[in-house]
Structure formats: structure tokens, C-alpha cells
Amino acid sequence: MSSSNQTHDHNAIKKWVEERKGVPARVKGTGKNGDEGVLRIHFPEHSDSTNLEEIEWEDFFKDFESDKLDFLYQDKKADGETSTFHKFVAREK
């Protein structure tokens, strides 16, 4: 059985991402007025996407907070393998 978790704790997000060899990123060309643009977590070992650009954690979390996002993620798949499933959702009030 797999389950998901939701957080906006920066340390928990960074730990989850780095354990899976991911990096904070943005979609190229989507930033404006000092905004990083559309945020993503990129897993270079699993994707050769050319439309993502790695950014610093500090910049990532600045936009994450200004957009009032939460990080929805899964630790393990139903078969017990480590999961990289995640998405950004609106933070609950």
C-alpha cells in the first residue's frame, strides 16, 4: 500500500528531494518580475528534459512561500520501491 504526505517544511522537502538525487528547478522562460516561474523538482537521472533549469534552494523556497504552496509526496510505491511522485498544491489555510 502506498500513501502520500503533505508538507511545507523546507528541510523535509529538501531531504526527500536530495535522497532521490533530485534538484530544484524551474520551467525555462516562465519567470518574470523577479519570480522564478513554474517550479519543478527535476530528477536528472530519470529525465533528459531540456525545458528545465536548475535553481538554488533559496530561490526555489522564496517562490514556494510567496505562492503559498505545499509539497504533496509519496515515500514508497505500492510495491515498496522508492517513489519520486510529488506535486505542488495550494496550501491549506
Segment 24-75, tens digit of pLDDT = 999 887 777 766 678 999 998 877 778 899 999 999 999 999 999 999 999 9
Residue among 75, 59, 92 at smallest CA distance from 17 = 75
Question: Would you state the cell numbers that stand for residue 85, as one nine-digit string?
Answer: 511522485
- Report the alpha-carbon distance of residue 58 to residue 61 in Å, rounded: 5
3-state secondary structure of 91: coil
E strands, the chain, where? 4-7, 23-27, 39-42, 52-54, 69-74, 86-90
Judged by DSSP in three states, 38 sits in: coil
pLDDT given for residue 2 in this prediction: 65
Domain that holds residue 41: 4-90
Query: pLDDT: is 80 or 46 the higher one?
Result: 80
Instruction: Enter the pTM of the model.
Output: 0.87
* 3-class state of residue 68 by DSSP: coil
Q: Count structural domains, the chain.
A: 1
